[in-house]
Structure 1
């Protein structure tokens, strides 16, 4: 392993799937001194590419006349993205103090990406909110008061009273709630977790980075709606997005 530990160079060169495989194989050992800095640097590179994809998607959606709005009856307009604020590092420590280690990919996301909310309505595709648009809110940067902790604290307290199953940090409404329909549990990430990649829990469990690649493969809207406009819209949205 050590003779091929040049993960960052290989990741940048395009060996992304192989690098993620090697880091995942290590499990929590990725925190060992021999691996930690290189692994965190890869996660930071991933987060930078993800942020670029998100900014590209939002720009393209705006050009297409997309209306970003909340998942409420009034479809209240909202901003789709907020970069990390000055409290990002402190927010990481707050989570770690209550839940233990965070996956490196998640900590990179909090420090580099921020929060994204692609729920809305496309002028040519009225069912876009039903297509499970990308939403990830972990930094709290989109919240009016800039602090998501009251919500997280309530979820942690409820879990601590039971602790009959692993804790899932909620990051997004499920695909029903995004479309303002009563649905199931939020999407989230299992914690604590000392690995490089995180375990994303949605309708199915998968590595966090695999989930992101799946979403970007469909231009941010991975759930089929049966509307022919979906293919036309997402074909333009997904063009030349980075693979993470």
Structure 2
């Protein structure tokens, strides 16, 4: 499906491709819910990535207007990948930044964050995050008009690994737009497909940046990742 590009939206392909993406998202949601359960049971505290450490909801399911928000994204930015639209409609927003009682480096291990509908921050109607996305795109447009070598627009969906641990870092993570294909390009520590990124996240129990020499983190994330579904 990736190989056909934007033609995936042609009659006869769009409906089955969307169902495949929806199933991907449903499996991802089960993984997210299981990780929240396991982390909570371990005493993990989900909080903001600043000095206040304000409690944050780890998972905010889609609202009643999630489908409308997904369509708005598609129209506003010239197309978003079908996998991204399915995530908005079936998974919601995720915030795994926090503190583990037995693992001091959890917040430095790039915990999963995805804010597409804006509900983690307490938004209920989508207008605030839509305005944020529009402002970011306007700033990129001005830059790209002045610089013919400007990078493509990346819609900001998560702080980078350093910002997650309350350290000055780089550009936010996100998906390269426009993209009318089935799956998008995730721009994070490396470029990869969105689904490949998510599979890497779940293979590491929600913390894909766990260091190779972090014995405690490796043990904890291996237990978190146990029996999670591949997307």
* TM-score, normalised relative to structure 2: 0.93
Aligned to 2:24: 46
Q: Determine which of 101, 123, 130 is the counterpart of 2:79.
A: 101
1:241 and 2:222 aligned = no
SS of match in other structure, 1:224? coil
Q: Distance in 2 between matches of 1:121 and 1:197?
A: 32
SS of match in other structure, 1:188? strand
Contact 2:79 2:179 survives alignment (8 Å): yes
Give the length in aligned residue pairs. 222
Q: Distance in 1 between matches of 2:132 and 2:179?
A: 21
Aligned to 1:220: 206
Q: Determine which of 62, 70, 87 is the counterpart of 1:92.
A: 70
Range with greater deviation from structure 2 (160-169 or 53-62): 160-169
Q: Distance in 1 between matches of 2:33 and 2:210?
A: 23
* TM-score, normalised relative to structure 1: 0.88
Aligned to 2:49: 71
Aligned to 2:8: 30
Aligned to 1:166: 152
Shift in Å at residue 24 of structure 1?
0.8
Aligned to 1:137: 115
Q: CA RMSD in A?
A: 1.1
Q: Determine which of 135, 157, 165 is the counterpart of 2:138.
A: 157
Aligned to 1:20: none
SS of match in other structure, 2:207? coil
Shift in Å at residue 150 of structure 1?
2.2
Shift in Å at residue 162 of structure 1?
2.4
Q: Determine which of 68, 88, 94 is the counterpart of 1:116.
A: 94
Shift in Å at residue 151 of structure 1?
1.4
Q: Distance in 1 between matches of 2:27 and 2:157?
A: 20
Q: Distance in 2 between matches of 1:98 and 1:27?
A: 19
Shift in Å at residue 128 of structure 1?
0.2
- Unaligned ranges ≥5, structure 1: 1-22
Q: Distance in 2 between matches of 1:173 and 1:145?
A: 18
- Unaligned ranges ≥5, structure 2: 145-149
Range with greater deviation from structure 2 (52-61 or 86-95): 86-95
Shift in Å at residue 145 of structure 1?
2.6
Q: Deviations along 1:26-66, whole A, 9 cap, x unmatched? A: 11111111211111100000000000000000000000000
Contact 1:125 1:227 survives alignment (8 Å): no
SS of match in other structure, 1:145? coil
